[in-house]
Structure 1
Amino acid sequence: MTATPPAGRGPRRIGPFEVPAVGLGCMNLSHAYGVPPEPRAAEHLLRTALDEGVTLFDTAALYGFGANEELLGRVLAAHRERIVLASKCGLTGVDGRRVIDGRPETLRRTADEALARLRTDSIDLYHLHRVDRQVPVEESIGAMAELVQAGKVRALGLSEASAATLRRAHAVHPIAALQNEYSLWSRNPEQGTLVAAAELGVALVAFSPLARGFLTSAPPGPGTLPERDVRRQMPRFDARHYPANLELRRRLDEIAGGAGCTLAQLALAWVLSRAPHVLAIPGTRSVAHLRENLAVLDLAVPGEALDAAGEVLDSATVHGARYNEATLAEIDTERCGAAG
């Protein structure tokens, strides 16, 4: 195989910021994947990420219903000038329930709450976590633009949004980043947002680039997922589809072995190779996996291996939808074939 330059070489831009191509998604330190780690372990992971050169840290009001922002505030406030701090609004916990609310008055209030939890005077990158179908996106972004004018936020982003919505939002206020799920098995950005982001000068920040742990050395299985793990509600992890997806994963593992990298590194290199405006924010609770992920920045994965990986697993070969129908109905992104 012919080696190609490292996919992550050099910084990538998000609005006014330059950051390494791999940041840290902090959700699973407080939320979504079963029981969160003990605070001391989570704090150690964040400090190690700082030591390893991570500068983009991504959180949200939803994660742990504020607990994740509090965690980042405790650990990162002393290092505020070294990092790009990203959070999200418009999807929060209310009385123990997950609520989408993009009303201007809600976004203003939750921004102040986030600033207090994060122990900072300003959030570098503030995303609208979900587009509220009851509120025109122009109204939500207009309120967030006021936060920029007030100095509480430096740049705006969207999450789980379509190309059409991105263009509407960008017409109200420049959008620095679009955070959508993008991985070998979730190709929705290829239906429009990848191109639209490039045209508008918007960074595409890929969340779940390792397919929610599926493309790692220790993939979860339906029988091992904790009771409150969100993957229990995702068709790709259920007993109907998971065995077929594991067979695809086995083939990817063989490609990674032939390329001299781990499966996670192959998957991350593939995402970063899609375009120079693409970044990735894998999450992890493991220091070893954190270092494995960051090593991709200096890794030259052969182009033939990336091409082969993209053919083995894509929206046509994956088994099961990205989310269940109830969740898909909440999301503004383009659907992608059978994969949802």
Structure 2
Amino acid sequence: MPRLPRLAGATALALAVGLLATAPAMGGEPAVSDPRIVAHFDFAQGGTPENLALEPDGSADLTFFFARKIVNVTRDGDTRTLATLPAVPNPHTPVVTAAVVTGIARAYDGTLYVNYATGTRKTGIWRLDRDGGAPRQIAELPADGFPNGLALDERRGVLYAADSVLGTVWRVSLENGTRTAWATGAELDPGTGANAAGVGSNGLRFHHNAVWVSNTDAATLLRIPVREDGSAGRIRTRATGLTGVDDFGFVERHGDTVLAALLSSDEVVRVRPDGSHAVVLTAADGLSNPTAVAVRGRSAYVTSAAYFTEDDPNLLLARVHQRARD
């Protein structure tokens, strides 16, 4: 097996993506406990989980960044491949060179959508029907960009995709695949300083009629309201100081409280609606460059891709419960 493309320190940090909060927490603050790794993956074979979406049965659909795969993992750790994105000869993907699968979103009917970054015309959003079959491209995104986080607004029939290199949130019609540069601005742009990874808008979630985006280089979590006509409202910063932030998930019944993955420090942090944050999981719990978080009820799922450590990429499951306010 050829050696996987190696991520330089700054570049790996670039793969991260976002988190934060804005509405008041309800009934105290959520705590995270009882972490356990439910599945281990093979780094040498490209088993680097980048993002995840949850199924009704509690299993998780993961994207394997380098292996170009979509896999399903049960709560007991049973893993099966759902699809593999087609190989691309001579990919020219910004930041990583290789063709990679990034964000994933699930529709209510079980259809899966993923971002595929290749540096070619195959860059864009791909669809996998719930009954299986080969994945197919439904929208083309700029070849010189890097589509990363992905979220679905089924009521409006659109997908939102964060472009980490072009500093853009794309809005894509499910009906015809038409793309629109829905939101742009300095808040979404990658950094340009000596310590910048060249990755701006990264993780993305649709929550309470707003698009939330993390900016890795800026270490921020952003909120962009969706106006009545579907256009983007003003971009507002909801949290700062989230060094190495990757994807994130909202804690149910706690308004805009977020659990966010900090890729470079092997941590998951709880981000309060006021923007303050505290560490809730660390490397001691099994994290190895965590990339994404999804929360459902009393369960938090965390993917670790081991981009820096190259040791034990995995899926971790933890318990979310009430605790006294700090």
Q: Normalising TM by the smaller chain, what interval?
A: 0.3 to 0.5
- The structure carrying a bigger strand percent of its residues is 2
Structure whose CA Rg is larger: 1
TM value normalised by structure 1: 0.31
TM value normalised by structure 2: 0.32
- The structure carrying a bigger helix percent of its residues is 1
